[in-house]
Structure formats: structure tokens, C-alpha cells
Copies of this chain bind each other. A is one copy, B any other.
Amino acid sequence: MELNIYIELLKNKNLKVTQHRLEILRFLDKNRTHPSLEQVYSYIKEKFPSISKMTVYNVIDSLIENKIINSMRFVNSTELHVDFEIDTHFHFVCSKCGHIYDIDSELDLEKILKNGGHKADDYNVNIYGVCKKCLKK
């Protein structure tokens, strides 16, 4: 049963396995559209109509903290977006349609930070512009 993947992810981090966490993980895994918390909430509400928005915040917080999912913000909006793919850090944001594309690339942090002395944990690259589809219109 595929849910096992998510159960494993949670157990490996000593997080309790709850229906909410499993369903949010499954949603993020199947829908890699970098949803905002509001979007996660409105999906999850269909499955668990009585779920509290606070639960969504709590679940997302613990998933981020345990590096099970990624989070990012974009200049044009206030809200936090999340992403199941923990290794994708480059995003292209279309200013016309708002769609967020994953871009397959990576930074050479060593080279970038060279003798600066800072110790990096993570990074986000956001590229803004007009996407392929919108250019064609």
C-alpha cells in the first residue's frame, strides 16, 4: 500500500502518524503545484470537513521543520507555498498566469559562498517572468 511511503517518512522523523498528516503528504506528493497553505486547506477540507486550519499550519510546520517538504515565498504574494520535492529549489513564476514551474538546476553553494565563512543549510531560487504558454497567447 502506497501510504506506507508517507508512514515511513513520518516514522523516520519520530512524528506521530495521523490521518491529517498522511493525507496532506499524499496531496503534496500527487499535486506538485507548490500550493499555498490556503490551497492545501481547501483540498484537505473536502476529505476531512471538520479539520481546523490550525491543523494545516501545524502539520505543514512540522513537515518543513523535519525537512520532509520544502517551503518558499514569492515577491508577489504574502503567503507561504509548499512543495513535496525536497530537492527542487529553482522555481519560475509566471507574472501573467501565476503558474509556478520547477526548474531543474542547482547552485554550487561552495563556489558562491567561497571564502565568506557562512554555513548554508538550504536555498531558494525564484525566477520571475512570462512563461512559455503565456508568451504564445
Q: A residues within 8 Å of B by Cβ?
A: 71-75, 78, 80, 90, 92, 94-95, 101, 103, 105, 107, 109, 112-113, 116-132, 135
Q: Establish whether residues A128 and B132, one from each chain, have CB atoms under 8 Å apart when the complex forms.
A: no
A109 to chain B, nearest CB (A): 7
Q: When the two chains form their complex, are residues A92 and B75 in contact, meaning their CB atoms are under 8 A apart? A: no
A72 to chain B, nearest CB (A): 6
Interchain residue pairs A-B with the least CB separation, the first 10: A117-B132, A120-B129, A73-B73, A123-B127, A121-B129, A105-B112, A122-B128, A124-B126, A118-B131, A119-B130
A126 CB to nearest chain B CB (Å): 5
Within the complex, which residue of B75, B101, B123 is in contact with A128, where a contact is CB–CB below 8 Å? B123
Docked complex Cα distance between A95 and B125 (Å): 18
Task: Pick the contact of A127: B72, B95, B120, B126 (CB < 8 A).
Answer: B120
For A126, list chain B residues within 8 Å (CB): 123-126
Which of A72, A118, A128 has the most chain B CB within a 10 Å cutoff? A118
Given contacts A73-B75, A119-B129, A125-B125, 17 further A-B contacts (CB under 8 A): A71-B75, A73-B73, A73-B74, A78-B78, A92-B113, A95-B121, A105-B112, A113-B127, A117-B132, A118-B131, A118-B132, A120-B128, A122-B128, A123-B128, A124-B125, A124-B126, A125-B126
